[in-house]
Chain A
Amino acid sequence: MILKIAWRNIWRSRTRSLVVIGAIIVGIWAEIFLMSFSEGMVKSYIDNAIQSEISHIQLHQPDFLKDKEVKYVIDDASSLQQALQSTAHVKAATVRSLSNAMIASAKGARGVQIKAVDPANESAVTRIDTKVVEGEYFSEGKKNQILLGRSLAEKMNIKIRSKIVLTFTNLNGDITAAAFRVVGLYETDNTMVDDAVVYTTRQDFNKVLGGGDIAHEAALFLEDPEYLDTVFSVLQAQFPNLKVETYKQISPEIALFDSQMQLSTTIFTVILMLALVFGIINTMLMAVLERIKELGMLMAVGMNKARVFFMIMFETIMLGLVAGPIGLGLAYLTVLYFNHTGIDLGNWSEAMRQFGMSRVVYTTIRPSMFTELAIAVILTALIGSIYPALKAIRLRPVEAIRRI
Chain B
Amino acid sequence: MKNIITKGITKVYNPDTIPVVALDGVDLEIEQGEFTAIVGPSGSGKTTLLNIIGGLDKPSHGSVTISGTEITKMRDNKLIEFRKEHIGFVFQAYNLIPVLTAEENVEFVMLLQNRPSAERDQRTTELLEAVGLGDKRNTRPAQLSGGQQQRVAVARALAPKPDFILADEPTANLDSKSTENLLDIMARLNHEEGITFVFSTHDQRVIDRAHRVITLVDGKIATDELQNPEK
Q: A1-B111, A302-B160, A305-B77 given as contacts; is B91 within 8 A of A401 (CB)?
A: yes
> Among residues 355 to 400 in chain A, which have CB atoms less than 8 Å away from a CB atom of chain B?
396-398
A397 closest partner in B (C-beta): B56
Chain B count of residues within 8 A CB distance of the other chain: 30
B99 and A301 contacting across the interface, CB-CB below 8 Å:
no
- Assess whether A307 is interfacial by the CB under 8 Å rule: yes
- Assess whether B24 is interfacial by the CB under 8 Å rule: no
Kindly list chain A residues whose C-beta atoms are within 8 Å of the C-beta of B99.
Answer: 5, 8-9, 12
Kindly list chain A residues whose C-beta atoms are within 8 Å of the C-beta of B57.
Answer: 396, 398
**Cα of A304 to Cα of B75 in the assembled complex, Å:** 12
- Assess whether B138 is interfacial by the CB under 8 Å rule: no
B56 and A398 contacting across the interface, CB-CB below 8 Å:
yes
**Cα of A179 to Cα of B85 in the assembled complex, Å:** 102
**Cα of A303 to Cα of B83 in the assembled complex, Å:** 9
B56 and A300 contacting across the interface, CB-CB below 8 Å:
yes
**Cα of A305 to Cα of B91 in the assembled complex, Å:** 21
Q: Mark B55-89, 1 if CB is under 8 A from A, else 0.
A: 01100000000000000000011001101110011
**Cα of A297 to Cα of B85 in the assembled complex, Å:** 15
- Assess whether B104 is interfacial by the CB under 8 Å rule: yes
B54 closest partner in A (C-beta): A300
B80 and A304 contacting across the interface, CB-CB below 8 Å:
yes
B112 closest partner in A (C-beta): A302
Within the complex, what minimum Cβ distance (angstroms) separates A133 from chain B? Answer: 67
A301 and B100 contacting across the interface, CB-CB below 8 Å:
no
Kindly list chain A residues whose C-beta atoms are within 8 Å of the C-beta of B139.
Answer: none
B157 closest partner in A (C-beta): A301
A299 and B80 contacting across the interface, CB-CB below 8 Å:
yes
Chain A count of residues within 8 A CB distance of the other chain: 23
Within the complex, what minimum Cβ distance (angstroms) separates A308 from chain B? Answer: 9
> Among residues 126 to 183 in chain B, which have CB atoms less than 8 Å away from a CB atom of chain A?
156-157, 160
A304 and B104 contacting across the interface, CB-CB below 8 Å:
no
Known A-B contacts: A294-B97, A300-B54. Give 14 more (CB < 8 A): A1-B100, A1-B108, A5-B99, A12-B98, A297-B89, A297-B97, A302-B80, A302-B109, A302-B113, A303-B84, A304-B80, A305-B76, A398-B51, A401-B95
Interface residues of A (CB under 8 A from B): 1, 4-5, 8-9, 12, 293-294, 297-307, 396-398, 401
Q: List 29 A-B contacts (CB under 8 A).
A: A1-B100, A1-B108, A1-B111, A5-B97, A5-B99, A8-B99, A9-B99, A12-B98, A293-B93, A294-B95, A298-B97, A299-B80, A300-B56, A300-B89, A301-B83, A301-B84, A301-B88, A301-B156, A302-B81, A302-B84, A302-B85, A302-B113, A304-B80, A304-B81, A306-B77, A307-B112, A397-B56, A398-B51, A401-B95
